Structure 1
Amino acid sequence: MKLQIRQLQKKDHKKAIQFALKGMHFDWYLDNPFLLYLYGTYFWYMELLRATQVIAVYAGKELAGVLLAEIYEEEKIDTSFGKKLYVRIFDFLQNLSYKGVGTYDNANREMYALYRKRTTPDGELIFLAANPGIKIKGIGSLLLQELECREPGKQVFLYTDNACTYQFYEHRGFQRVCEKEILLALGKKEVPLECLLYAKTIPCL
């Protein structure tokens, strides 16, 4: 089946959340399915509110993958008050319940500070997830290619960790700029992670 770049349909937002839950291994950190869905919704809203580029790939009528990017000085696509309120409430509750989340965020901030000493980025790749139920190769690559067509010459970066398929980015020209080992405490769980920051200057057309 042929893959096509199309506008993300509102009805497919829930599917994008499910892609993230599986592809980013959020289920490693949360056992409760209800809390897992709430967190997935929070993560999706948080990134969607930042996004200036929303790129979707479809295989026929089925959503195959989604990419969100924030390119500085471009207008945000979604400014929903309801989403902002959800994110604020979840942030508050999360900070009360899971102190380890701050450890992850602090590691990213430290890596970003080191990265900024060397260069000034034009934007950030903030979400990339593919449909695990579609056995078609090249979904992630097509999403990145579309972003590169839209933003030639821009330097973009992303945060990831060794629990995710960071090798995907290395195979597509991203360079590892910073790394930091942490111990993520989530309730009674302690998860060792290596936080990573990758960057790439998109070739000019």
Structure 2
Amino acid sequence: MNEIIYREIKKSDYRAIEVIINNSFGLYKYVNNPKVLKSLLKIYLQSCLAEKTFSCVAEKGGKVVGVILGQAKSDYKYLTHLNHIFAIAFHSAAMTLKSVLYQCSTSDYKKVHKIYRKLISGKEQEFDGVLTLFAVTQDCRGLGVGKKLLTNFFEYLKTKNTKHIYLYTDSSCNYNFYDNQGFVRLGEENVQITSENKASKLNIFLYDYTLK
């Protein structure tokens, strides 16, 4: 059996992590053009990288099988994230052009992010940290990879005296994991989206966690 190694993220991991994001969160269900989807995945990952002060990936047999990115607000330095911020702008412009060219809507993605802002509105100052990305490949779930990644993140937060973090998730993910790990659901909103060309309902959640 291959040993699972935990280490910081590298640029060479980005493509593998985009695949994990796509499979874990099912973005391919909402964007039916592969070129538009490619830009969306890059925006998603770069948005998470633009916020992170902590990263850890799980690697098994030379393959990335899990990732966690998060932030301790006290450790965040804007200038060190400019490359990711510029990447977001570039890929956003590219996605807009591709959406028009291939007549592929990304309105559901924008709709979900609007709900994120609604759920956190007025609560931002309550938190001194955030979990921005957390996913494990299907074949490695149940092996303790997710718990180890989360433990590594919590240990980092404690070194920064971070006490109270939040995260967004939704009903397309294994959100029960957070319930089982002691997270508390602060809010929920339902949204109508198009999934695999069918009308569908997505439940979006805001969770928080207080470090002991």
Using structure 2 for the length normalisation, give the TM-score.
0.82
Q: Does 1:35 align with 2:41?
A: no
- Tell which deviates more after alignment, 56-65 or 166-175: 56-65
Gap change, CA 1:4 and 1:108, over 3 Å in 2: same
Between the aligned partners of 1:94 and 1:124, the Cα distance in structure 2 is 31
Alignment match, 2:90? 86
Q: Does 1:167 align with 2:176?
A: yes
Alignment match, 2:151? 145
Gaps of 5+ in 1: none
Q: Which amino acid aligns with 1:130?
A: V
Pairing of 1:1-205 with structure 2 (within 5 A):
1-76=2-77, 78-80=81-83, 82-90=86-94, 97-113=105-121, 116=123, 120-134=126-140, 137-152=143-158, 153-184=162-193, 190-203=199-212
Gap change, CA 1:64 and 1:188, over 3 Å in 2: closer
Gaps of 5+ in 2: none
Measure how far apart 1:100 and its partner are: 3.7
Deviations 1:49-83 (Å, cap 9, x if unpaired)? 11111111222422221111122132355431651
Between the aligned partners of 1:130 and 1:186, the Cα distance in structure 2 is 22
Does structure 1 retain, via aligned residues, the 8 Å contact 2:70–2:129?
yes
**Identical-pair percentage:** 21
Measured on the aligned residues, the alpha-carbon RMSD in Å equals 2.7
Measure how far apart 1:127 and its partner are: 0.5
Gap change, CA 1:95 and 1:202, over 3 Å in 2: farther
Deviations 1:7-27 (Å, cap 9, x if unpaired)? 223211100000000001112
Gap change, CA 1:137 and 1:80, over 3 Å in 2: same
Gap change, CA 1:102 and 1:39, over 3 Å in 2: closer
Does structure 2 retain, via aligned residues, the 8 Å contact 1:123–1:155?
yes
Deviations 1:112-136 (Å, cap 9, x if unpaired)? 126x18x711111111122335466
Q: Which amino acid aligns with 2:112?
A: Y
Deviations 1:110-163 (Å, cap 9, x if unpaired)? 21126x18x711111111122335466111111100011111252111011111
Between the aligned partners of 1:181 and 1:5, the Cα distance in structure 2 is 35
Deviations 1:11-52 (Å, cap 9, x if unpaired)? 111000000000011122122233222211111111111111
The aligned length equals 201
Measure how far apart 1:190 and its partner are: 3.4
- Tell which deviates more after alignment, 175-184 or 68-77: 68-77
Q: Which amino acid aligns with 1:103?
A: K
